[in-house]
Structure 1
């Protein structure tokens, strides 16, 4: 991350990363298929954490409550990495290829949540709707969490946004 910030993503090579880490390029490739994945390491673990939490939500819970539970689980994944996440955000923002990769990863997370909701018996269309709505909340919560003056945990921000969402769309 330091190299990406210092030199820029495009100007940083795998050899540079490996050297800074005290590794060979060959060893680097045992851990990452390419340098992009340095920035996306752990996304699969986040997805699994969220899906597991969603699936463990009580059966009587609504689809959106289950999605909210998944958001709460993301809080444990993110922990106290705001400073790192801010640098990561800045690196990604400067590169179209990385922004595209980020969108692909988020779409995959949404699909995984929708699939988990469907496993819970939620109608396929409603599962997608709840998952996509949840991802909109996730993206906004993440953006707010990365603000320089933000001190709340990710989960608290996501929970607040979900409460606001419920007020925006009261049952009819």
Structure 2
């Protein structure tokens, strides 16, 4: 086994996703993932707590990017604009990994336990946005509303981005979705 080859974590993520797509999440074992990656199960557990975490390993990085983007948001931006823009900035790297994101989402959609974990991740993002906006002086109720709506915009945009043809940057789809929300919220003529 090539256990000392570089990028064990990336190889494990790719092997896991391949197996989850082929066999389903519940029908895949850690030993099979490690074997597909050319590693040992012991190496797997050095990188991930369990087989779910292979799909959610980037969550802490996403949270840090989100906090950073919110800290850098201009003071003239509305809480809503700041929250949506921060989500776009934090997730901009996904544009380079659309195929992986599409396959990952199909695995999550097919499994109730993973859908629940994804909802927890979205709730954590919302809490982070609420806290960051509050630190910028936005009243708590307004910060919470902006965070929840921003998460909704992001989720709708993400789903569209996965299927849109031709392929466009995720940030472009997020911006377009926010404009669409504004149009929906505008008073009827």
TM range (shorter): over 0.9
The residue aligned with 2:114 is: 98
Tell me the TM-score normalised to structure 1 length.
0.93
Which residue of the partner structure matches residue 13 of structure 1? Answer: 29
Q: From 15, 20, 29, give the equivalent of 1:4.
A: 20
2:173 to 126, 140, 157: 157
Aligned-residue Cα RMSD (Å) equals: 1.5
Which of 50, 55, 58 is matched with 1:34 structurally? Answer: 50
Q: CA deviation at 1:22?
A: 1.6
Structure 2's unaligned 5+ residue stretches are 1-16
Change (3 A) 1:132 1:61: same
Alpha-carbon shift at residue 167 of structure 1 (Å): 2.7
Contact 1:75 1:153 in 2 (8 A): no
Contact 1:46/1:77 (<8 A) preserved: no
Relative to 1, partners in 2 of residues 1:69 and 1:83: Cα closer, same or farther, differing over 3 Å? same
By relative contact order (CA 8 Å, sep 6+), the higher-ranking structure is 1
SS state at 1:140 partner: helix
Q: Counterparts of 2:86 and 2:113 in 1: how far apart (Å)?
A: 28
State the Cα deviation string for residues 15-58 of structure 1 (Å, max 9, x = none).
Answer: 11111112111111111000001111202111211221111111
Equivalent position of 2:68 in the other structure: 52
Deviation at 1:170, TM superposition (A): 4.2
The count of corresponding residues between Structure 1 and Structure 2 is 171
Q: CA 1:150 to 1:39, structure 2 compared with 1: closer, same or farther past 3 Å?
A: farther
Paired residue for 2:8?
Answer: none
In the TM superposition, 1:132-151 aligns within 5 A as 132-147=148-163, 149-151=165-167
Deviation of the 1:163 alpha carbon: 1.5
Match for residue 73 of structure 1 among 74, 89, 96: 89
- 90-99 or 162-171, larger mean C-alpha shift: 162-171
Q: Where in structure 1 do 4 or more consecutive aligned residues deviate above 3 Å?
A: none
Q: In the alignment, is the contact (CA less than 8 A) between 2:84 and 2:154 conserved in 1?
A: no
